[in-house]
Amino acid sequence: MLHNYPSQVRIVDVSPRDGLQNIKTTVPTEVKTTLIKKLCDAGIQHIEVASFVSPKWVPQMADAEAVLQQLPPREDTSYIVLTPNLRGFERAIDSGAKEVAIFAAASETFSQKNTNCSIAQSLERFEPIMLKAATLGVRVRGYTSCVLGCPYEGDVAVTEVVRVSKALIDMGCYEVSLGDTIGIGTPIKAREMIASVIKEVPAKKLALHFHDTRGQALANILACLEYGVANIDASVAGLGGCPYAAGASGNVSTEDVVYMLHGMGIETGIDLKKLVAVGHYISEQIAGPNHSKVGAVYK
């Protein structure tokens, strides 16, 4: 049996944004910037550091400007910020953002409930962002959410995942991150989804953003690695939660992903020991659980 795994994987740690956004505690700016610096020191070169969303909706991200401004520029590191609309994008640029992420859904109901507009409208809203980003030389990362299921609609058509992901690439995103937003997928479904998407978007332009809500994330990642996808989003300490299931866990833990990849001989450039220490640091700071199983072993 042949398995064409990549020899190298790029990890995007999303804990400062997707992680901290989904916990109740509001974390001081200094703790956020320390977390980010520690992630850099562990060898993570791509970090989603904040979201320029309205503080009315997401108070945990109210200090997005401060976070971005206080981070030391690093040649080797990309600080990514989520910008849901043009206003957020402009705030991000004013704070010095060099890379942003935009967010679309493969489920019509999720798009309506989460961003208050249809999928088509959300893609239209991104057009002025893409234009400005191109002018400014700002890189844009796209997200397609609900790629393996929707909290409102249940099953999501793979054709919609393909269509939305291709649209994001066609409008200029350098990569699309495929989100199993509610961690509902299982390996065959994940594999079938990837197999369809790579017919329209090359594997090197895809990332996996799988939540571990039902413990399936690593198995799903393994299934998709066979297709040459070599970008994985994860969250140190599995930081975060699931807004659709109280008490459930959120993003897959970066430590557990890196442990698997290193065990498979796949390089990440990350120092796992240091990474585990970062997981313990942030868990202590927020007085919350460390969801990483690797973290529980290497204390």
Residue 260 as a binder of a second copy (CB under 8 A): the answer is yes
Helix residue ranges per DSSP H, 152-271: 158-170, 187-197, 217-225, 254-263
Residue 199 as a binder of a second copy (CB under 8 A): the answer is no
Residue 213 as a binder of a second copy (CB under 8 A): the answer is yes
Residue 226 as a binder of a second copy (CB under 8 A): the answer is yes
Rule CB under 8 A: choose which of 33, 145, 181, 216 binds a second copy.
216
Q: How far apart are CA 275 and CA 234, in angstroms?
A: 12
Terminal Cα distance for the chain, rounded = 37
Q: State the number of CA atoms in the 13 A half-sphere of 269 facing the CB.
A: 15
Catalytic: 150?
Answer: no
Q: In angstroms, what CA-CA distances link 155 with 8, 150, 210, 248?
A: 32, 6, 16, 20
Rule CB under 8 A: choose which of 134, 159, 264, 284 binds a second copy.
264
Shortest spacing between CB 251 and a second copy, in angstroms:
13
Shortest spacing between CB 265 and a second copy, in angstroms:
7
- # residues near a second copy by CB under 8 A: 40
Q: State the number of CA atoms in the 13 A half-sphere of 132 facing the CB.
A: 20
Q: How far apart are CA 254 and CA 249, in angstroms?
A: 13
Residue 287 as a binder of a second copy (CB under 8 A): the answer is no
Q: Using CB under 8 A, list all residues that contact a second copy.
A: 1-3, 5, 185-189, 191, 212-216, 218-219, 221-223, 226, 242, 245, 247-249, 253, 256, 259-260, 262-265, 292-294, 296-297, 299
